[in-house]
Amino acid sequence: MMPLEQDNPKSDRLRAVLTTALLPGTVFALLLCALFAAPLPWQFSWPWLTVLDLDLAVYIDGLSAQFLLLITGIGALVFVYGTGYLANRPERRRVFGLLLLFMAAMIGAVVSDHLLLLFLFWELTSILSFLLIGIDHNRESSRKSAQQAILVTGAGGLCLLAGIILLGQIAGTYGIQELIVRAPSYLEDGRLNAALGLIFMGAFTKSAQFPFHFWLPNAMAAPTPVSAYLHSATMVKLGVYLLARLDAAFSDLLFWEYTLVTIGTFTAVMAAAQTVFERDLKRILAWSTVATLGTLVMLVGLPGQGAALAAAALFFAHALYKAPLFFVAGNLDHGAGTREIDSLTGMRRYMPWTAAAALLAALSMAGLPLTFGFVAKDAITFAKTQAEVLHLVSYATVFVNGIAVAVAAIAALHIFWGRDTVPRQVKPHEASPCMLLPPLLLAGLGLLFGIFPTLVDPLLGSAARAMAPGFDAGQVTAAYDLLPVIEATVAALACGFMIYLGWNWLHAHLTRFAVFDRIGPEAWYRRVIDSLPHLAAWQTRRLQHGLLPGYLAIMLAAVTFLVWLLLLAADPVFAWPDTEGMTVPVLGACLLIAAGAITTLFVNDHLVLLLVSGLVGYGSAVLFLFTGAPDLAFTQFIVETVFVVVVATVLVRLRRQPPPVRKAPPESRLRPLALTLAVVFGATLTTLILLVSDLPFDTSLTDFYAAQSLPAAHGRNVVNIILVDFRALDTLGEIAVLAFALLAAWPLLKLARGKQR
């Protein structure tokens, strides 16, 4: 491929655009046609894992359709943009492949009508996000950011799974629509708050809500197309999507409303304030994305139909203005080699088209009239008047909007207008057409839908109906009420311009108070991550010291402890066993075992020790022989023999070599602690055996095998018949384990041999 690109870069670029954007573009076009052709919702189901009651259930209503359009539409543009942004970069194939997989996972997540299915795709998006953030894996910061993203969202994912299972048990179903229909019947359940709390953890980690917000700005280590797609337009909205999905079922719960409104508002304010601390355009945009996500969570939590409409409008508006702004940041990175806002001024002269795209998108972000951002803001204001929120929340919204205006002004005015005062070695250059078309198109759409909001009314209406089932279409137009929103817009604009003008002053003075860095959740995250190696080293030092007596002591102590715990819990009745089975051979075998065991204490030579301890094994074999288990006795004899022979072989070989370590002095074997442990362990096991042998023995299974052995399996040795016929599958598994263990041990043993040499 590489030589072709060098031969004819232009036609190759075109081909790349066509091939990469073809799939998402086609899906987008088909979806759009289908939306006109067939009324929502669409429902399909294919049987899959019927045992788990898990079918591939698909349910597409307005909310899903809105997400599908964003995923495929912006996806197609991201691919177009990526062919320009990643041209001639070696990692581009990996990026495109992962992006396609991500798109599929995302589509799966928003169409699933089964919570577990949704979870499956949810986790897939987390993993793909991890891979995409860490695409530049030679940089340590990239790896750290990727690790942080997967740890935070992965931990949230586990909570989500627990929450889903709990919710499924409470409601008796995992089907989402089923869950909504049955909602009134289980809202009183006491476990519901726990389930919802766990689901919140999942949604908040995914959608970067406080206190899990910090991974998102760090995820900006990913290439810009990835940031625009995953970390602004689609994946981070998945948490909000899940909440919006369940909103129809739980919006009446106070716990639901209060948690979402509080966390959402707090996240929005905190993230808006954090933008002032940043100088990197991409990180500024990332923080403002977190602020928008907070606003979305707040809107989902607000009761009322207006809030549902506002959430739907903001989903849409944010994708239409934030993705182009990310593209603009990418163009600047590409053309001017930096994203630091200090070294970017007057770029309009070098990059006129990028400047135009930035301006269009910024107008929408600032919420000026005749843009779609204004429509969204209008809907939010309407929602708040309808839901009667606290004044505090209203003030918070004005502040967040003000910051949004300031960020828009930074992106469109500060960077592109004014005079270029920074000395430059290389003249910045305009980006290629395939990096200009996507931002211009998206920002232009934002303007178009702002002038003609009725174009998207049906979509927003049906999306809102998914969150608030009783939503009627008349509400959409009712929300476009100009008077109250003018007030809010003027306030936000005034506030925003003041922040914009004082940005440098604020930045200089506020960075001194960057307390979040020291006490915030990210600092705690880092402390935990940094202390993990120490913890691991400590426990390895304590537990994996390589001394056999130490391992033995830990194991014996643990077994003793557990057995006593069980004994105390079960509270059994103790009785001495009867001495009926005590014949002479049995007694002899017992004496043999005891003699072997006691002699080991007084022997120092390893070879003799081995032979003496073999007496215990042979004694056991004799015992089995005379208590009606000839097969077991046979096995025991041979195992003992093999053991003694192998260990003797090793000992004989070792003796020829000089001893590597000085032998431990014999007194140390009778150290008081070890002696105590040994006596306690022995006593525990003896007690256990006495108690077990006193229990009545259920013989129904043995009777069955004994009766069926000859007629059903043509054999008289019941033990072997069980092994090879009745439970043949188990035996097959066991010998497979044996063979696999050999396969696993083989390279290690070869390695040991190599080291010897």
Partner 1 sequence: MTRRALIAEVFMRVLYPLLLAAAIWVLLRGHNAPGGGFIAGLLAVAASAAYALVFDARQALRRLPLGPVRLAAGGVLLALLSGLPALWQGRPFLSHPWLSFGLAGIDIPFSTVMLFDLGVFLAVWGALAGYCLKLVESIEEEP
Q: Which residues bind partner 1 (CB under 8 A)?
A: 630-631, 634-635, 638-639, 641-642, 645-646, 648-650, 652-654, 656-657, 713-717, 719-721, 723-725, 728-729, 731-732, 735-736, 738-739, 741-743, 745-746, 749-750, 752-753, 756-757
Q: State the Cα–Cα distance between residues 640 and 619, nearest whole angstrom.
A: 10
- As measured in angstroms, the least distance from the Cβ of 756 to partner 1 is 6
**Pick 490 or 639: Cβ nearer partner 1:** 639
**What six digits make up the tokens of 672?**
């008081």
**Pick 482 or 638: Cβ nearer partner 1:** 638
**What six digits make up the tokens of 298?**
């707040």
- As measured in angstroms, the least distance from the Cβ of 556 to partner 1 is 25
Give every CB contact of residue 530 below 8 A, 6+ residues apart in sequence: none
**Pick 369 or 715: Cβ nearer partner 1:** 715
Contact 288, 407 (CB under 8 A): yes
**Pick 569 or 729: Cβ nearer partner 1:** 729
Contact 266, 321 (CB under 8 A): no
197 closest CA partner among 243, 266, 150, 244: 243
Q: State the Cα–Cα distance between residues 449 and 320, nearest whole angstrom.
A: 10
Alpha helices by DSSP H, 340-411: 352-366, 372-387, 391-409
CA angle 574, 580, 585 (to 5 degrees): 120
**What six digits make up the tokens of 274?**
């954090």
**Pick 100 or 724: Cβ nearer partner 1:** 724
- As measured in angstroms, the least distance from the Cβ of 656 to partner 1 is 7
**Pick 525 or 637: Cβ nearer partner 1:** 637
CA distances from 162 to 33, 247, 718 (A): 39, 19, 46
Give every CB contact of residue 469 below 8 A, 6+ residues apart in sequence: 180, 248
Q: State the Cα–Cα distance between residues 387 and 443, nearest whole angstrom.
A: 31
**Pick 166 or 721: Cβ nearer partner 1:** 721
**Pick 104 or 644: Cβ nearer partner 1:** 644
**Pick 519 or 729: Cβ nearer partner 1:** 729
**Pick 390 or 706: Cβ nearer partner 1:** 706
- As measured in angstroms, the least distance from the Cβ of 721 to partner 1 is 7
Strands (E), 182-321: none
Q: State the Cα–Cα distance between residues 489 and 378, nearest whole angstrom.
A: 9
- As measured in angstroms, the least distance from the Cβ of 746 to partner 1 is 6
Long-range contacts of 503-511 (CB under 8 A, 24+ apart): 503/276, 503/406, 503/410, 503/414, 506/276, 507/276, 507/277, 507/279, 510/276, 510/277, 511/277
**Pick 104 or 651: Cβ nearer partner 1:** 651
Contact 345, 422 (CB under 8 A): yes
- Helices 391-409, 254-275: crossing angle, 10 deg rounding: 30
Phi, psi of 56 (to 5 degrees): -80, 80
**Pick 186 or 705: Cβ nearer partner 1:** 705
- As measured in angstroms, the least distance from the Cβ of 615 to partner 1 is 18
- As measured in angstroms, the least distance from the Cβ of 619 to partner 1 is 19
Q: β-strands 42-49, 54-60: how paired?
A: antiparallel
**Pick 90 or 711: Cβ nearer partner 1:** 711
- Amino acid at site 62: G
368 closest CA partner among 232, 497, 228: 497
How remote is the C-alpha of 91 from its chain's centroid? 24
Question: Which letter does DSSP use for residue 250 in this model?
Answer: H
- As measured in angstroms, the least distance from the Cβ of 647 to partner 1 is 10
- As measured in angstroms, the least distance from the Cβ of 622 to partner 1 is 15
- As measured in angstroms, the least distance from the Cβ of 609 to partner 1 is 18
Burial 402-415 (b: 16+ CB within 10 A, else e): bbbbbbbbbbbbbb
- As measured in angstroms, the least distance from the Cβ of 681 to partner 1 is 28
- As measured in angstroms, the least distance from the Cβ of 637 to partner 1 is 9
Count of positions (residues) in the chain:
757
DSSP 89-137: -TTHHHHHHHHHHHHHHHHHHHHB-BHHHHHHHHHHHHHHHHHHHTTST
**What six digits make up the tokens of 562?**
């557990």
- As measured in angstroms, the least distance from the Cβ of 596 to partner 1 is 20
**Pick 370 or 712: Cβ nearer partner 1:** 712
**Pick 419 or 753: Cβ nearer partner 1:** 753
Q: State the Cα–Cα distance between residues 752 and 546, nearest whole angstrom.
A: 17
- As measured in angstroms, the least distance from the Cβ of 204 to partner 1 is 49
The residue written with tokens 């001024």 in the block is: 345
**Pick 587 or 650: Cβ nearer partner 1:** 650
- As measured in angstroms, the least distance from the Cβ of 704 to partner 1 is 17
CA distances from 536 to 539, 541, 548, 550, 555 (A): 5, 8, 20, 18, 20
- As measured in angstroms, the least distance from the Cβ of 639 to partner 1 is 6
Contact 339, 282 (CB under 8 A): yes
The residue written with tokens 């209203």 in the block is: 394
Tell me how many helices (H) and strands (E) the chain has. Answer: 32, 2
- As measured in angstroms, the least distance from the Cβ of 623 to partner 1 is 16
Q: State the Cα–Cα distance between residues 301 and 629, nearest whole angstrom.
A: 69
**Pick 86 or 610: Cβ nearer partner 1:** 610
CA distances from 92 to 112, 218, 225, 630 (A): 30, 21, 11, 68
Q: Is 56 helix (H, G, I), strand (E, B) or coil?
A: strand
Q: State the Cα–Cα distance between residues 647 and 572, nearest whole angstrom.
A: 41
- As measured in angstroms, the least distance from the Cβ of 605 to partner 1 is 18
**Pick 519 or 661: Cβ nearer partner 1:** 661
Phi, psi of 507 (to 5 degrees): -60, -45
Question: Which letter does DSSP use for residue 253 in this model?
Answer: -
